[in-house]
Amino acid sequence: MPTFAAIDIGSNSCRLAIASVQQHRLKTLHEDREVTRLGESVFETGVISPEAMANTIKALKRFHKAVQSHVVDSVRVVATSAMRDARNSDAFRAWVKSATGWNVEVISGLEEGRLIHLGVVTHETGARGRCLLIDLGGGSCEITLSDGGRIEGMVSLPLGAVRLQQEFLRTDPPAKENVAALRKYIGRELARAERKFGVPKVDLVFATSGTAAALAEASSTSKVLAMKGPLRPKGSSNAVGSKALQATTAGVRMLADRLLKMTNAQRAAVPGVGPRRSEIIIGGAQVYATLMERMHLRGFRYSPLGLRDGLLAQMLADVDSRASVHRTVENERWQGVLDVCQRYGIDPKRVEPECHSALLLFDQLQRVHELPADYRLWLQAATMMNGVGKFMNHQGHHRHTHYIIANSDIFGFSPQQRAIVAAIARYIGKSRPDLMDRPMRAVPVEEHRNVQRAIVLLRLALALNQDRTSSALHVRTRIYPKRVVIQLEAARGNAELEAWSLKKERSYFREVFRRELLVEVA
């Protein structure tokens, strides 16, 4: 059975998880974590410092050895907030590539939230009900409303612990005016979440990441909250492995305000915090306390699951159609496509016949196009969204379509997959793909042949739906060594317009598939 590795390059730390597939489920084989503070300089200067790069590369090289020792079949490496903001992120990605051979995907805040949600609902008991997920990392905070395992709403806010520390908290303990500026900033950003969710009625609140673990353990220690003098080191560690940790809103608020008056050494002595978390916990604690108060939440339950678990679940879903998470991922992807259509004024019912034709041709001409199974969804998505560019301008709308698809947040689609879908949707009408075109340069070279073949299928599907006022066509295909025959039969009226449109694609069909295309009207 395959073995997967997921690597999360966060703004505060890097994490590795290796798991194997056993009976359509994931079994964790190895985990590792290293605090590298990649985002520390980014939030101050806009670039990743050489020291932060070197520390992260060192951790990734250790991860690379673990990946090799476990004979991993597939590795996925993603980076989050710091890499989204850094002006020199391309240089760091090139360094990672040369040191490990890995390609780093820089994912959006919403995709980060989706993957965290996927990891939690796949493994966490109780997450299939109506719940709120809060993930406060080093650079951003993702808040997700979930019901029945499906995302109802999500917002990504620039409220990460490292970011807030660098921007507002330069003295130890922090000055009153800096705390006031911090609280004002947190309130302004959380207003976006309030507009999105209001006061959510949920059964459970899950909080992930190290800040949540530290707050849950520390706020539950009544001795810490009662102390008024300096704290003495307790030698306790951050309980990131416990699934029973919980925190009340009142307890988090009390702890958050207490931390404001402590020095770094005193914060490090708080049970559950430790010396590394103490440097950045003040801002995160204020975010949690304010968020839970403003949304009238009673508290949260800490979950050790996170982005890496969602990545592993996504990788399982992509290779095993019998895994329970497969349907969840497919539904999320299609919902993402529908969201784009809604945003740009596409009526799904209007393009449904085109989608039906595209899937029919994909299935009936499998022996001809020989495309991987993934391309069935890519083709369907490109067909559904091929008209979104008209929202901007009817003239040259295919170029606008490409831009919108390639640059939109579509749940479940990686940047590479969006580039493939965008390229398929781009070359409709008179234009044909040139390998030197910008849309094709964004597609991996090994996928060029597949994209060209999918483009032909989409063009044929659109040709089959020229006359929207006519009744549905019955389409049959016959495949021969040197030709393909498409037979059309109209339930009512005729199919001459569709036949004429199909014949216009014969030369391109022959160029791509090396077979003649014949059209017959019954």
How many CB atoms neighbour CB 184 within 10 A?
11
Q: Are residues 153 and 96 in the same domain?
A: no
* Tokens 């199919």 found at: 495
Q: Is the pLDDT of residue 234 over 50?
A: no
Least confident of 226-240, 347-361, 463-477: 226-240
Q: Are residues 211 and 288 in the same domain?
A: yes
* Tokens 């801002």 found at: 283
* Strand ranges across the sheet with 516-521: 473-479, 483-490, 516-521
Tell me: cis bond preceding 230? Omega within 30 of 0 counts: no
What are the Cα distances from residue 393, in Å, to 32, 126, 342, 384? Answer: 50, 47, 17, 18
Is residue 114, in this structure, part of any structural domain at all?
A: no
Is residue 112, in this structure, part of any structural domain at all?
A: no
Rounded Cα–Cα distance for residues 348 and 342 (Å): 8
Q: Are residues 223 and 327 in the same domain?
A: no
pLDDT digits (tens, 9 = 90+) for 417-465: 999 999 999 998 778 888 888 899 999 999 999 999 999 999 999 999 8
Query: How many domains does one find in the chain?
Result: 3
Contact yes or no for 516/400 (Cβ under 8 A): no
Rounded Cα–Cα distance for residues 372 and 374 (Å): 5
Q: pLDDT above 70 covers what percent of the chain? A: 94
Question: What confidence score (pLDDT) does residue 467 get?
Answer: 65
DSSP state string for 266-277: HHHTSTTTHHHH
Q: Are residues 102 and 158 in the same domain?
A: no
State which of 289, 314, 339 marks the end of a domain. 314
Q: Are residues 343 and 378 in the same domain?
A: yes
Sort 327 into a burial class: Cβ within 10 Å, 0-12 / 13-18 / 19+: exposed
Rounded Cα–Cα distance for residues 143 and 153 (Å): 8
Q: Angle of helix 210-219 relative to helix 281-294, nearest 10 degrees? A: 80
Sort 53 into a burial class: Cβ within 10 Å, 0-12 / 13-18 / 19+: buried
Is residue 118, in this structure, part of any structural domain at all?
A: no
DSSP state string for 232-273: PP------TT-S--EEEHHHHHHHHHHHTTS-HHHHHTSTTT
Q: Are residues 294 and 370 in the same domain?
A: no
Higher pLDDT, 174 or 219: 174
Q: Are residues 77 and 134 in the same domain?
A: no
Arithmetic mean of pLDDT, 113-128: 90
| DSSP run (H or E) holding 35 | strand 25-35
CATH of the domain at 365: 1.10.3210.10
pLDDT digits (tens, 9 = 90+) for 365-398: 999 999 999 999 999 999 999 999 999 988 889 9
Q: Which residues span the domain enclosing 515?
A: 321-521
Mean of pLDDT over the chain: 91
Q: Are residues 280 and 326 in the same domain?
A: no
How many CB atoms neighbour CB 488 within 10 A?
19
Q: Are residues 339 and 462 in the same domain?
A: yes
Least confident of 149-153, 182-186, 220-224, 230-234: 230-234
Q: Are residues 170 and 260 in the same domain?
A: yes
Q: Are residues 363 and 243 in the same domain?
A: no
Is residue 115, in this structure, part of any structural domain at all?
A: no
Rounded Cα–Cα distance for residues 408 and 415 (Å): 9
pLDDT digits (tens, 9 = 90+) for 262-307: 999 999 999 989 898 999 999 999 999 999 999 999 999 999 999 9
Is residue 84, in this structure, part of any structural domain at all?
A: yes
